[in-house]
Amino acid sequence: MTTTRDLAGLDLPPAVQDRLEVFESLVRRWTEKINLISPATVPDLWTRHILDSAQLWPLAPVGAQAWADLGSGGGFPGIVIAVIAAEAGAPKVTLIESDQRKCAFLRTAARELGLAVTLLDQRAESATPQGAQVVSARALAPLASLLPLIARHLAAGGTALLPKGRDHAAEIEAARKDGWTFDADILPSLTDPAARILRITNLAHG
């Protein structure tokens, strides 16, 4: 089933590519019914959403056993990461999403892709703290508002992986003014020259 795809330099096994193509088809079908992604991005779904999510995988610490994705929405990056993790044998992926229609989609995607994910249909601020070694969130909130949620679900010594746009520097400054301390690797995006990925460690407040 694997077709020739732009992988943006990512080394994705053929089995992973196949499952991601199935997921791509699911997203296209469901987006016709509910607003999983912006309709304007549907023609470029593979790059704008799937590869944009997959590029987080090699940035995670080796040996992580638990990954929590906040505001999973249409499965980006949570389902994409879960597909790659299933092939790799770890980590366990938990999706946190409060929109019930999107939860229905996430359940369907997990079932059709054979993924053993955990889905919490709650807001990130009220869900049971996950103690995950990796926490991700994509297009959920500005950094100053996002970090309290990250801190709630991140294990001590854990890593947050946060795709951000051209305003990432201003978001970092605002978060630090709000009392947050952290180390941030500002990494280039493989899919958008204006975007960056923040790899945050040593997160603390006050």
pLDDT tens per residue across span 133-174: 999 999 899 999 999 999 999 999 999 999 999 999 999 999
Q: What is the DSSP string of 138-154?
A: SSSS-HHHHHHHHHHHE
How big is the CA angle at 128 (ends 65 and 122), to the nearest 5 degrees? Answer: 110
Domains of the chain: 14-205 (3.40.50.150)
Indicate the average pLDDT of the chain.
Answer: 94
Strand order of the sheet with strand 154-164? 118-120, 92-96, 66-70, 132-137, 154-164, 196-205, 180-188
**Within 13 Å, how many C-alpha atoms sit on residue 32's CB side?**
5
89, two tokens: 């044998």
Tell me what pLDDT residue 8 has. 79
Tell me what pLDDT residue 9 has. 84
Which region among 6-10, 98-102, 131-135, 167-171 has the lowest average model confidence (pLDDT)? Answer: 6-10
